[in-house]
Amino acid sequence: FYGQVKRELIKAIPTLIIWGEHDQVFPLELGHRLKRHLEDNAQLVIIKNAGHAFNVEKAKEFYSILKSYLVDLQPPAESSPSKCQNNKSSNTKKMK
């Protein structure tokens, strides 16, 4: 019983998943799996042309994504529509 309740609580938490498109430490497929596991309250944002250290490689894009999610309380796609394009699922975005 406790395990099921815990899983439901985890799925209810809004979660932003940020992943580098060319991450060789944790392949992008793991980001998609995590998104599927967390379901509708999770949003996967893929930073194009970035690896595992996207916070260093693409610092401005990383900051913009975090700011729009945490401060502006908007999905990253709404904060900079010219930089985002939808990917496979409705909650997956690719940042240029």
Where do the domains of the chain lie?
Answer: 2-95
Quote the pLDDT of residue 74. Answer: 72
Q: Is the pTM of this model over 0.85?
A: no
**pLDDT reading at 19 higher than 70:** yes
Distance CA 58, CA 56 (A): 6
63 pLDDT tier (thresholds 50, 70, 90): very high
| Mean pLDDT of the residues in the chain | 84
Whether CATH 3.40.50.720 fits 2-95 = no
